Amino acid sequence: MHTKSLKGLTIPLVSVLAGFIVGAILMLIFGYDPLQNYQNLLVGSFGGVYSIGETLRNMISLILTALGFAVASKAGFFNIGGPGQYLIGWFGAIVFTLKFSYLPAIILIIGALLCGALAGGLWSMVAGILRAYFGTSEVITTIMLNYIVLYIVNFAVKSWLAGKGSDSSPNIAAKANLNTPFLQRITDNSTFNWGFFIALAVVGLVWFYFNKTKSGFEIQAVGLNESASQYAGVNVKKTIITAMLISGLLAGLGGAIDGLGNFQNISVSNNLPNVGYNGMAVALLAAENPIGIVFAALLFSALQIGGLSISVYSNTPSEIVDIVIASIIFFVGIKYAFELIAKKGWFKRKNREEKGGAEK
């Protein structure tokens, strides 16, 4: 067990290191100073309360979309619907806050977050139901549902929420803003908001759900072997739908928190929100471990927020950070490939030995 957990940490750490090295080599090739840039990146993400606040805020939606991806993944599904579920969650929360703005602050906020989460959950459940009853590949359906939600939300914002000639909704009431004046004051006007603590609490809940509840265990069982779980008396269809529902709830909550805490409105989007995809990368780096997701999200968030500083403080294009991030993912992926090759090779050798033994 001890060696196994050590190995579990080695892969992400080596990948991260390798990612940074690739970034450094590229910068050297193109004549930029890697040390200076990494230092700017660090200062940009952790230098001072403002930067820390911004980095922690950026973690919120990364954590939640990553948890969402992880839950589905534990059940054996590749839920690519994170961006769409995040977007509909954002939309749901803003709609609730705008339409019920007369409610007292606390009820308004809780209602908006629930509404956003539920919107994400129900949207994702569509893919779950299709998978459970018709065996439709969730990869295809979630990708397609992403685009459907993008255009539905754009249409709804444009024709329903936005004023004439505008392409964004009005701002929500100040009382529903999760980025309260107190937090603004202590973090030097950053967008850090109470959602961060909600996200951490949800990490705890998800950990508890997987390790201590029957339903969480069933999800993992179905992920390991669907037929065996069915044989063991697990209601596989229900479990699939539950897993997708929870997955969507989490991503939707991420969108809702960002809506109330960061944007305070919703506008017509050019593209699906990137955070949905980045959440998948965070979950992969953390090997879908809820606690690991917190640290992976911290790393990604620091890279993204610090990355904005790179082009401000030097001539290096900020895209270099995207290369570092992509390299990290690449190395995580290639590590799996190495493991697979190692395993296969080992099996072959063993088979040969056994064969040899039999011939003698």
Partner 1 sequence: MKKRVLAVLAATMMAGAILVGCGNSSSSSKGTKHSAALVTDGGGIDDKSFNQSAWEGLESWGKSHNLQKGINGYNYAQSTDDSDFLPNINKLVKAKYATIFGIGYKLDNAITKASKANPDVNFAIIDSVVSNRKNVASVTFKTEQSSFLAGVAAAKTTKTNKVGFIGGIQSDVITTFQKGFEQGVKAVNPNIKVDVKYAGSFTKADVGQSLATAMYNNNEDVVYQAAGGTGAGVFTAAKNVAKNGKKVWVIGVDQDQKADGKYKGGNVTLASAIKKVGTAVKDLSNDAMKNKFPGGKTVTYDLKSNGVGLVNDNMSASAWKAVQSYQEKIENGTIEVSAK
Which residues of the chain form contacts with partner 1 (CB under 8 A)? 5-6, 8-9, 13, 38-40, 42-44, 46-47, 50, 54, 58, 151, 154, 158, 165-168, 171, 184, 189-191, 258, 262-265, 267-271, 273-275, 291, 295, 305, 308-309, 311-315, 318
Give me the least distance between CB of 299 and partner 1, in Å please. Answer: 9
DSSP 8-state assignment for residue 32:
-
Give me the least distance between CB of 104 and partner 1, in Å please. Answer: 25
Give me the least distance between CB of 234 and partner 1, in Å please. Answer: 29
Complete DSSP assignment for 167-199: SBPPPPPGGG-SS-HHHHHHTTS----THHHHH
> Is the separation of the CB atoms in 303 and 45 below 8 Å?
yes
- Cβ nearer to partner 1, comparing 139 with 308: 308
DSSP bridge pairs for 168: 267
Give me the least distance between CB of 310 and partner 1, in Å please. Answer: 10
- Cβ nearer to partner 1, comparing 226 with 322: 322
One-letter-per-residue 3-state SS of 195-215: HHHHHHHHHHHHHHHHHHCHH
Nearest-angstrom CA–CA distance, 78 and 93: 26
Scan for tokens 């997701």, then name that residue: 293
Give me the least distance between CB of 307 and partner 1, in Å please. Answer: 10
Give me the least distance between CB of 187 and partner 1, in Å please. Answer: 11
Give me the least distance between CB of 312 and partner 1, in Å please. Answer: 5
- Cβ nearer to partner 1, comparing 244 with 257: 257
Complete DSSP assignment for 119-159: HHHHHHHHHHHHHHHH---HHHHHHHHHHHHHHHHHHHIII
DSSP 8-state assignment for residue 161:
I
Give me the least distance between CB of 50 and partner 1, in Å please. Answer: 7
- Cβ nearer to partner 1, comparing 153 with 240: 153
- Cβ nearer to partner 1, comparing 189 with 213: 189
Give the CA dihedral 337, 286, 295, 122, nearest 10 degrees: 140
Complete DSSP assignment for 259-277: IIIIISS-B--SS--HHHH
> Is the separation of the CB atoms in 88 and 252 below 8 Å?
yes
- Cβ nearer to partner 1, comparing 128 with 292: 292
- Cβ nearer to partner 1, comparing 262 with 327: 262
- Cβ nearer to partner 1, comparing 23 with 44: 44
Cα 338–chain centre separation: 25
